[in-house]
Amino acid sequence: MVRVGILGATGYTALEAMKLLLRHPGAQITAVTSRTDKSPLAAVHPQLARRLELSLEDLSIAQLQERCDCVFSCLPHAASAEIAKQLVEVGVRVVDFSADYRLNDPVSYKKWYEHEHPDPARLGNTVYGLPELFREQIPAANLVANPGCYPTSAILPLAPLLKAGLVEPGDIIVDSKSGVSGAGRTPKLGTLYPECNESISAYSVGKHRHQPEIEQILGRVSSATPQIIFTPHLTPMDRGILSVSYSKPTRSVTEAELLEILSDFYKNEPFVRVSKTLPTTKDVAHTNFCDITARVNGGRVLLISVIDNLIKGASGAAVQNFNLMYGFDETTALL
């Protein structure tokens, strides 16, 4: 039984991670932390009442080391790397939900996250936990950078085509729509119910931190680092991301060909479904699936993908990584 700690257990991704782990025959949640809140977990997450009878604690590295084999860090960026580096050094394996270890280098990290990276040496050589692209690196990893939600939705459809040289890396638009849970559980005017209900809006246009992540990760599987124009939207729903990418084919290509390339690339993947029909976010809600389709329109390749931002975009991916790290069947607790 792998003993798992949840760092920063009050938020939405932590809740989903705990719900998944409760179904996992080989995992046991042994610690749930919060720096400020000492409540019983069920007071913060009534969904967990009678299911996980722990209280929130503020634990030291030594205490975590004693109690946990592995932690899921749902801490904010910077805070996460600060603790992750210490845990890894004392032998606790870490799945990091924050963005701290996703980018290639401290310079781009500082540019986008606006402070010095607390653990620069590991930047660029930490495994990016997207099993569909980097599976072989995960089992041995002590630290896994769990992918961002938007990046997962954008990278999975684009990677096969970029790898095959079928679309131009220099001219890609990704227009994404996300449910509100992606904005976290801290009360803010912008995510108050009457502000975002019955309304859709683009935000962080040209400035979202997932843009360099999409570019750098796709750069690892592509001949050149792609240039992405990324526009995220806040959509009046709890969960789900729909991404539409518009790219230029390098040669004439049909929809059937695209679907075949994608299907072939993902034919052994348990969580990627390629289909000719247009997906909706509801098709994958509360699941670890990414559904993908392709269209050719006006000389452009359109790739349309959906995920549940809290599952395949966060906690499901973390469990998938956990399964690979500990030798469980990759789909354990995820189907």
Q: How many alpha carbons fall within 13 Å on the CB side of residue 266?
A: 26
The minimum distance between CB 314 and its own copies, in angstroms, equals: 13
Q: Is 46 a binder of its own copies (CB under 8 A)?
A: yes
Our answer to whether residue 149 is catalytic in this structure is yes
Residue (88 or 242) nearer to its own copies, CB: 242
- Segment lying near its own copies (by CB under 8 A), choices 59-67, 85-93, 170-178, 322-330: 170-178
Q: Is 193 a binder of its own copies (CB under 8 A)?
A: yes
Q: Is 282 a binder of its own copies (CB under 8 A)?
A: yes
Helix 12-22 / helix 316-325 crossing angle, nearest 10 deg: 50
Query: By CB under 8 A, what part of segment 246-265 binds its own copies?
Result: 246
Q: Is 49 a binder of its own copies (CB under 8 A)?
A: yes
- Segment lying near its own copies (by CB under 8 A), choices 53-61, 75-83, 154-162, 179-187: 179-187
Bridge partners of 246, per DSSP, are 173, 302
Query: By CB under 8 A, what part of segment 295-334 binds its own copies?
Result: 295-298, 300, 302, 304, 306
Exposure b/e, 287-296, CB count within 10 A at least 16 = b: bbbbbbbbeb
Burial class of residue 193 (count of CB atoms within 10 Å of its CB; 0-12, 13-18, 19+) = exposed
The minimum distance between CB 109 and its own copies, in angstroms, equals: 20
Q: Is 192 a binder of its own copies (CB under 8 A)?
A: yes
Query: By CB under 8 A, what part of segment 12-41 binds its own copies?
Result: 12, 22-23
Q: Is 283 a binder of its own copies (CB under 8 A)?
A: yes
Query: By CB under 8 A, what part of segment 88-127 binds its own copies?
Result: none
Give residues with Cβ within 8 angstroms of 226, minimum separation 6: 158, 162, 169, 170, 172, 214, 215, 218, 219
Is 133 in a helix, a strand, or coil? helix
Residue (85 or 173) nearer to its own copies, CB: 173
Select the residue interacting with its own copies from 199, 254, 260, 329 (CB under 8 A): 199
Helices marked H in 105-187? 106-113, 131-134, 149-163
Residue (44 or 161) nearer to its own copies, CB: 44
- The DSSP string of 63-116 is HHHHH-SEEEE-PPTTHHHHHHHHHHHTT-EEEE-SSTTTSS-HHHHHHHH-S-
Query: By CB under 8 A, what part of segment 220-249 binds its own copies?
Result: 227-229, 231, 233, 235-240, 242, 244, 246
Judge whether 59 and 67 are in contact, CB under 8 Å: yes
Judge whether 210 and 178 are in contact, CB under 8 Å: no
**Catalytic: which of 70, 74, 149, 196?**
149
The minimum distance between CB 275 and its own copies, in angstroms, equals: 7
By CB under 8 A, the count of residues binding its own copies is: 71
Select the residue interacting with its own copies from 197, 256, 264, 276 (CB under 8 A): 197
Work out whether the CA dihedral 245, 212, 262, 270 comes out positive or negative: negative
Active site members:
149
